[in-house]
Amino acid sequence: MVKSKKMTALAAVVMAIFSLLAILPLILLFIASFTDNATALAEGYSYFPSKWSLEAYRYIAMEWQMVGRGYLNTIIVTVIGTGASLIITAMFGYGLTVRGLPFQKLIMGMVIISMLFNGGIVATYFVYTNLLHIKDTIWALLIPNYLMNAFNIILVCNYFRNSISEELLEAARIDGASEFRVFWKILLPLSVPILATIGIMTAIAYWNDWTNGLYYLSAKNGRPLYTIQLILNQINNDVNFLATNAAQMGLTIDTSSVPSTTVRMAIAAVGILPLLIAYPFFQKYFVKGISLGGVKG
């Protein structure tokens, strides 16, 4: 009993240390975003800056019409993409757990292979742009990379096999329920933990994504579809360009007042804040879903 208490205390200390190591960079991020730009350049980032400033956020506020549009696009893409991904993944996983499905092992093998190999950026880009023609459309932000994930499918399959009674599903079929009714009325309500887990991971991926926009949205035609990550990256580039080339361009501005350093921190804070607010509400489902979907199998 004493040994067990010591191990528990040691585990608690270790977890506290690792938690602190994860939290401290976030705290520094937000503090640095409120630091005066000249102070950050002279003293570096600090938890106790000698001078505070809101210039980085004021600069972002000046571009708020563009930033607001980016937030709206990101919310639309995240909601639609996450919802579609959950439906597709759950249906795919359910099909792989139904007994007697033809070529079930072959399909599962293809899913696993897709985790190890892919066609590469060039082939993927050619398929999406020349065959599917999604360039400069909303589909460019929804379909590539995140709509269906092999790892999520395996999590769902393991959860369905180990956490939902096959006898319950068979009883529903005997009572005359169709496969769709079994899936929609019985399976999905019992799968909230794993679906919430996958939903969190997928939503984070969609929210933080900027590579799809980089590849499939052009500056000329795709700019109205820019998400918050692309918008903030553009602001960051504009600030750096302005601070570096103002003299060569003949601009009569004080470049020292341009928050070229702290604006990076403010941009990161603006991008990550909604996720930090939303995650605690889904944390219990995330932990339960990972343990049930990943450990058993």
CATH number where 168 lies: 1.10.3720.10
Q: 120: which 2 tokens? A: 């590469």
Domain-embedded: residue 1? no
SS3 52: strand
Distance CA 112, CA 158 (A): 14
Domain-embedded: residue 24? no
Q: Note the helical H segments in 228-296.
A: 228-249, 262-290
pLDDT digits 0-9 by tens, 153-191:
988 988 888 888 888 888 888 888 888 888 888 888 888
Asked if residue 61 has pLDDT above 70, the reply is yes
pLDDT digits 0-9 by tens, 227-249:
888 887 777 777 666 666 655 65
Does 157 or 1 have the greater pLDDT score? 157
- Give residue 143's region: left, alpha or beta (phi > 0; psi -120 to 50): alpha
Q: What is the mean pLDDT of residues 209-230?
A: 86
What is the span of the domain harbouring residue 167? 61-295
* CB distance 73 to 225 below 8 Å: yes
Contacts of residue 10, defined as CB under 8 A and 6 or more positions apart, other chains included, come to none
Domain-embedded: residue 32? no
Asked if residue 57 has pLDDT above 60, the reply is yes
Asked if residue 42 has pLDDT above 70, the reply is yes
Distance CA 268, CA 276 (A): 12
The distance of Cα 168 from the centroid of its chain, to the nearest Å, equals 34
Domain-embedded: residue 30? no
Domain-embedded: residue 47? no
Distance CA 149, CA 197 (A): 13
* CB distance 93 to 183 below 8 Å: no
Domain-embedded: residue 51? no
* CB distance 199 to 176 below 8 Å: no
By mean pLDDT, which of 205-209, 238-242, 274-278 is the weakest?
A: 238-242
Distance CA 209, CA 211 (A): 6
| pLDDT of 80 | 95
* CB distance 40 to 190 below 8 Å: no
Give me the amino acid identity at 211: T
Asked if residue 3 has pLDDT above 70, the reply is no
pLDDT digits 0-9 by tens, 74-111:
999 999 999 999 999 999 988 888 877 788 888 888 88
Q: 218: which 2 tokens? A: 């052009």
Domain-embedded: residue 11? no
Asked if residue 193 has pLDDT above 60, the reply is yes
Q: 110: which 2 tokens? A: 């293809």
Q: Return the closest-CA partner of residue 198 out of 149, 267, 260.
A: 149
In sequence order, what E strands does 65-117 have? Answer: none
Domain-embedded: residue 25? no
| pLDDT of 294 | 46
SS3 138: coil
Q: Tell me how many degrees the CA angle 180-185-186 measures, rounded to the nearest 5.
A: 100
Distance CA 158, CA 164 (A): 10
Q: How many domains, in total, are found in the chain?
A: 1
Indicate the pLDDT class of residue 17, thresholds 50, 70 and 90. Answer: very high
Q: What is the mean pLDDT of residues 24-32?
A: 90
Q: Quickly count helices (H) and strands (E) in the chain.
A: 14, 0
Mean pLDDT of the chain: 82
Distance CA 66, CA 239 (A): 15
